[in-house]
Structure 1
Amino acid sequence: MKLFVGIDVSSEQLEACFMNMEGDSLDTLLVKNNLAGAQYLRDRILSHADKLPATEIHVGLEATSVYSWHPAMYLHEDEALKARKTKVFTINPKLINKFREAYADLDKTDRLDAWIIADRLRFGRLTTTIVMQERYLALQRITRMRFHLVHNLTREKQYFLQNLFYKCNAFRSEVDSSVFGHAIMELLSEKYSLDEIASMEIAALADYLQEKGKNRFPDPEGVAACIQKAARASYRLSKVMEDSIDLVLGTSIQSIRSIQAQLKELDKAIEKMLDGLPGAKCLRSIPGIDLVYAAGILSEIGDIERFDDQAAVAKYAGLVWRKHQSGPFEAEETKRIRSGNRFLRYYLVEAANSVKNRDSEFGAFYRKKFKEVPKHQHKRALVLTARKLVRLVDALLRNDQLYTPKRKVMTAKD
């Protein structure tokens, strides 16, 4: 006998519905979403399990951002519930919404949502079970923060380049060196006018770049000459406009450097956390998968045993294509599903882009897929390469195996 408990989660409340295997609603309960509320809910779950009596308890919560994490972890780790063979499922809200469509005549309320979650638990066939272990979740918080900062850095650099065009519109067409190098950023933050830059001695400007760039320029005089050429070719701004743009550029430079410093701190924390996680060495043995990619993939997958096979991992990442078949006809062009973990998909695709440049097998696979179609070649080939990478990642993690390109990698069935 099983007891099913559906929980509708909000930031302040937990609405629970208790259901038996026949689909009968045994009880409903509303508690606060805090420690005391979760403890009271646990006691009621145990009480109903004793009354049935239940040999197994299934608890389901919608994966509602941060709100479901604390109650799910509490119910998953509680010793009394563990003794009753309790399984805690965090369910994709899209799955619940699709299931709700079968009950079109029902209203949308929290109590009914809890009932629908319990009923969905009763039907079973939920592939992703239990909350990830805490050490993976701790790493996930850091990698997602890094993901957030990287995208902020990209936006800030784009904004900087827009404003740089006001100050020196010929810069990017005349200067080969990166705008975001330390020396050039220092030059721009000094608030020199274009006339001042244009009138500088080449040797003085070259010495300035060499000093700020810590002697990393192979040809500082050449770079200095290009910068002066850009300054002379650019439009001039009025004093009021120039002061405004200089202030904006200086503020943007500070933001870029601040984000870069934060990224370095996160990378140090990621490296430290990876040392204690199984599977980190396995992933980093793949050519092209560095610290960040390994951490991102591991933190989103968690324990590989959560998934039945590599196909389940691919579906979780959203790297699955829907079939379109009717009778003898089967469509060749199908769309990728839009659900799945976008963070895991991002790290797999980015890692695949790196691996294809360093591993001959993945490089050949990418080129083959690239030539198969006339449009969207790179995007399609890269996503298919990421799908191939899923199989390798699953095999290495499941077998605790290092990647050796010239040797066959064992699959889970081996």
Structure 2
Amino acid sequence: MNLYLGIDVGKNKLDFCALDSDQRCCFQGETTNDLNGAIKIKQTVLTETQTHHYEKITAGMEATSVYNFHPMTFLAEDSELQALGLSVITINPYTSHHFSQLFNDGKTDAIDAKQLADLLRVEPLGTPVARQENYVALQRLTRERYHLVKQMTDSKNHFLNNLYYRCNTLERELPTSVFGSAMMTLITDEELTLDEAAALPLDELVTHLQQLAHGKFGDAEAVAKAIKKATRSSYRLSKVVTDSVDEILAVYANEIRMLKKQIQVLDKTITQISTQNTDINCLTSVPGIGPVYAAGIVAEIGQIERFPDESHIAKYAGLAWLPHESGTSVRQATPRTRKGNQYLRYYLVEAANSIRRYDITYQRYYHKKYEEVPKYRHRRAIVLTARKLVRLVEVLLRNHQFYIPPKVV
């Protein structure tokens, strides 16, 4: 006889329901989502096990942003519950939602808790919780870095959109990035506007660019010529619109600089922590994987024992293509699942994009997949390369070994 405890997590309260193997409701109730509430659930479980013997006890709750973290961690780490053999599983909300549609019970928090317990009874769908606190500490850093990178990408897109209003051919003509420190200062400078800088003689503009870059500008003359050409060929705006666009460009330029500094601070902290983790050291032995990408992968995978094999890691990361058959018809092009861990998928894809520049095996595989299709070449090739990387990550982490490049003939 087994006991299945479903917990519906809200910001302020926890609804819980326990079913046994015969689908009998052993206990049900609600409590606050704080330490006292978690202790109440624990005491209820201990009381139930004093009167009935259960071979296995499984608790499950949906992954609900940050609200499930504390009750999940409390139940997973409590010594008395661990003595009973209790295991805690996080359930994909997509899975529980479709399971609830099989019934015509309506929707309340109490019903959701019972259905979660029933889902666990049918099959423990989900991944066991990472138990060691060092994984949680890494997760907080790597996940916030992910969000900062997304903010940086959004800010850059807004900057480019407004730059197109200001000088629509500048990005196309420049032989360098517009997000370099000197170029962003030139574009958003209030004392010497972009049009005024372009009106300077070529040698003075070259000198001005070198001063902005503190003498470290590359081919300043080529950039100066590109700026002059872009300002001549771009559309003209009225002064009112130009002033508005300049203000917006300055705002986004400051935001990009701020986000860049914040990402650098997080990268430094992640690198310091990474030196003490043997799993991260195993992954950084792969050419192209630095401590930040390795930390992001290890933080999301946690204990490798949570996954039976590499295919489960790939599915957990959302790097799986589900088969589609009907009778004798087999679909050749199947879509990739979108239900995986976005953080793990991001760091695997970024690591794969870096590895292909250093490792000849991954470089050849990337180019092979790149040439197979006429559209979305890079996106498809890099995702497939990330799927290939999952196999290597699983072997290195499970065997605690360093990477040895294969001999290339």
TM-score w.r.t. the length of structure 1 is 0.92
Determine the structure 1 residue equivalent to 2:184.
185
Residue range with higher mean Cα deviation, 378-387 or 69-78: 378-387
Determine the structure 2 residue equivalent to 1:272.
272
Question: Mapping of 1:7-86 within 5 angstroms?
Answer: 7-86=7-86
Determine the structure 1 residue equivalent to 2:200.
200
Contact 1:15 1:31 in 2 (8 A): yes
Residue 245 of structure 2 corresponds to residue 245 of structure 1: yes
Question: Mapping of 1:401-412 within 5 angstroms?
Answer: 401-406=401-406
Distance 1:196 1:372 in 2: 48
Contact 1:49 1:57 in 2 (8 A): no
Contact 2:76 2:131 in 1 (8 A): no
1:129 to partner: Cα distance:
1.3
Distance 1:399 1:144 in 2: 26
Question: Counterpart amino acid of 1:225?
Answer: K
Residue 290 of structure 2 corresponds to residue 290 of structure 1: yes
Alignment RMSD, CA only?
2.1
Contact 1:194 1:236 in 2 (8 A): no
- 1:320-367 deviations in Å (ceiling 9; x for gaps): 222223455433222222211122122222222222232121222223
Contact 2:187 2:193 in 1 (8 A): no
Question: Mapping of 1:169-180 within 5 angstroms?
Answer: 169-180=168-179
1:131 to partner: Cα distance:
3.9
User: Secondary structure in 1 aligned to 2:101?
Assistant: helix
Residue 400 of structure 2 corresponds to residue 400 of structure 1: yes
- 1:228-271 deviations in Å (ceiling 9; x for gaps): 33334444433323322222222221111111111111111111
Question: Counterpart amino acid of 1:160?
Answer: F
Determine the structure 1 residue equivalent to 2:100.
100
Contact 2:60 2:89 in 1 (8 A): yes
The 3 A distance-change label for structure 1 pair 131 and 175 is: closer
1:51 to partner: Cα distance:
1.2
TM-score w.r.t. the length of structure 2 is 0.93
Contact 2:75 2:88 in 1 (8 A): yes
Question: Mapping of 1:382-397 within 5 angstroms?
Answer: 382-397=382-397
The 3 A distance-change label for structure 1 pair 401 and 183 is: same
Determine the structure 2 residue equivalent to 1:228.
228
The 3 A distance-change label for structure 1 pair 379 and 51 is: same
The 3 A distance-change label for structure 1 pair 407 and 122 is: farther
Distance 2:13 2:188 in 1: 51
Distance 2:313 2:170 in 1: 46
1:25 to partner: Cα distance:
0.3
Distance 1:272 1:120 in 2: 41
Distance 1:93 1:166 in 2: 43
Runs of 4+ in 1 over 6 A off after TM superposition: none
Residue 90 of structure 2 corresponds to residue 110 of structure 1: no
Question: How many residues of Structure 1 are paired with residues of Structure 2 in the alignment?
Answer: 407
1:301 to partner: Cα distance:
1.0
Distance 2:334 2:198 in 1: 56
Contact 1:197 1:231 in 2 (8 A): no
User: Secondary structure in 2 aligned to 1:196?
Assistant: helix
Distance 1:117 1:3 in 2: 12
Distance 1:372 1:193 in 2: 47
User: Secondary structure in 2 aligned to 1:279?
Assistant: helix
Gaps of 5+ in 1: 409-414
The 3 A distance-change label for structure 1 pair 326 and 244 is: closer
